[in-house]
Every structure is written in C-alpha cells, then in structure tokens.
Amino acid sequence: KNQVEQSPQSLIILEGKNCTLQCNYTVSPFSNLRWYKQDTGRGPVSLTIMTFSENTKSNGRYTATLDADTKQSSLHITASQLSDSASYICVATSGGSYIPTFGRGTSLIVHP
Amino acid sequence: EADIYQTPRYLVIGTGKKITLECSQTMGHDKMYWYQQDPGMELHLIHYSYGVNSTEKGDLSSESTVSRIRTEHFPLTLESARPSHTSQYLCASRRDAESSPLHFGNGTRLTVT
C-alpha cells in the first residue's frame, strides 16, 4: 500500500530561523514527489516537484531534497518569515497513476 | 494563481438535507478531484473524473455522488447530510501530464447540525 509519513506533526520557530521538514514515502513504482503549502482557509499550492533523478531543487527560500534509495525527502526553509506559517504537505505519486498519496502535513508556526 | 472556484465557502445545514457543492475551473483540465480534509489528517479522495461523462469513486465515496457533464464543472452532491459529513471539502484539477500539479480551490467548510 502506498504511504507517506511526515514529521514533525507540528513545529514552532522564531522568525528568521531555519527549519527542515521530513517526509518518508512508500510508493511503487515511484514517479514524483511534491511539496505543497496550505495556508489556513485556503487550498494547497505546489512548491516543488522532485523526480527520481533529482536530488535537490530550490524555490526561493524553500529547498527540497530527495533520496530515492532511502525513500526520504526533506523541505528546508531558510530565514523563515511570518508568512511561512502554514501546513506543508508531502505528496507522492506512483508511475502510471493520476491518484497521488498525501501525507498528513506538518503544521509550521513562525513567531515574531 | 489557479482558476478553480468552489461555492459556497461555508455551509451550515440540518441533518437529512440534500446539498450540492459546486466546483468550476477555467483551465480546460480534463482531470478533476474531490477531497475531504479533516484537521491533522491527510486528504481523502472522494471522487475523481478523467473527463466528460467519466467519474470514479475514491476511498470515501459512500453517500455522495458527482457528475461531469461539462469539462469545467464537477459538482458533488450529498443526498442526505449527516453530522459525520462535517468537514472541509476541496476540489482540484490538473493537466494530463503525470508530473503536473494539482490546482486546488479554497474549499467548502460544511457543518451538519
């Protein structure tokens, strides 16, 4: 069964600090992994996509990594801002499927 | 910003009522999805469609139906609402490419009393 596990469940940091969110996935065969950001009261928005051959990808202050051997991904946020407060959802998709598997998300709160 | 719209944003109704949640997208996407989201839980797939007149059930499809008569419109109907249906409902669409992202609406927050 395809599964996505995220940690931590929640995280509180001070503005300006860095943080890293973790994602372990079990999908077969693996196609791609996306990180979404969901602000309160809004739908999720895609931040990055990682495919099998990619190790690192950046989108501004967000950097995603992928280790296909250990089936792990991380999302690193640099110099956090108050607007980074949101839920970050890891989503993995298997090859040939248009039905992705969602993690439960990490709730990030950035305090001033 | 993706052009996918859900109405209403909030809905409070009594048990036993029939309701329809609306979802429309202007991007011409063939693939559309309905998800249910509860706090701290992963999104659960209710229904999905790969094009006009194509609909499939997801994990939580019981007690609800969908239709896809037009590409841009994918409404979700609960025939008889129950308190257990209280949740956030998210509609999404995507292009045909496997690597394309899901574009989500801002959801309908449903409360059944």
SS3 per-residue string spanning chain A: CCEEEEECCEEEEECCCCEEEEEEEECCCEEEEEEEEECCCCCCEEEEEEECCCCEEEECCEEEEEECCCCEEEEEECCCCHHHCEEEEEEEEECCCCCCEECCCEEEEEEC
The shortest C-alpha distance from B85 to chain A (Å) reads: 18
Least confident of A5-9, A45-49, B35-39, B96-100: B96-100
Cβ neighbors of A41 (< 8 A, separation 6 or more) are B106, B107
Task: Collect all residues of chain A within an 8 Å Cβ-Cβ radius of residue B101.
Answer: 34, 46, 49
Name which of B4, B31, B43 is nearest A98 (Cβ-Cβ). Answer: B31
The shortest C-alpha distance from A15 to chain B (Å) reads: 23
Mean pLDDT within B69-73: 97
- Please tell me if residue B99 touches chain A, with a CB cutoff of 8 Å: yes
pLDDT at res. A1: 85
**What token pair was written down for B43?**
């999104």
Q: Which 3 state secondary structure label does DSSP give B83?
A: helix
Cis preceding linkage at A29, omega within 30: yes
- Please tell me if residue B95 touches chain A, with a CB cutoff of 8 Å: no
Task: Collect all residues of chain B within an 8 Å Cβ-Cβ radius of residue A89.
Answer: 42-43
Instruction: Give chain A's residues under pLDDT 70.
Output: none
pLDDT at res. B30: 95
Name which of A31, A41, A45 is nearest B98 (Cβ-Cβ). Answer: A31
Task: Collect all residues of chain A within an 8 Å Cβ-Cβ radius of residue B105.
Answer: 43
Backbone angles phi, psi at B107, to 5 degrees: 90, 160
Residue indicated by tokens 């499939």: B56
- Region of B30 on the Ramachandran plot (φ > 0 left; ψ -120 to 50 alpha; else beta): alpha
Whether the predicted pLDDT of B110 surpasses 90: yes
- Please tell me if residue B89 touches chain A, with a CB cutoff of 8 Å: no
Cβ neighbour number for residue A34 with a 10 Å cutoff: 22
Nearest Cα residue to A91 out of A79, A104, A101, A76: A101
**What token pair was written down for A30?**
């693996």
What DSSP character marks residue B95?
Answer: -
pLDDT tier, B95 (very low <50, low <70, confident <90, very high otherwise): very high
Chain A residue whose CA is closest to B56: A99
Chain B residue whose CA is closest to A35: B101
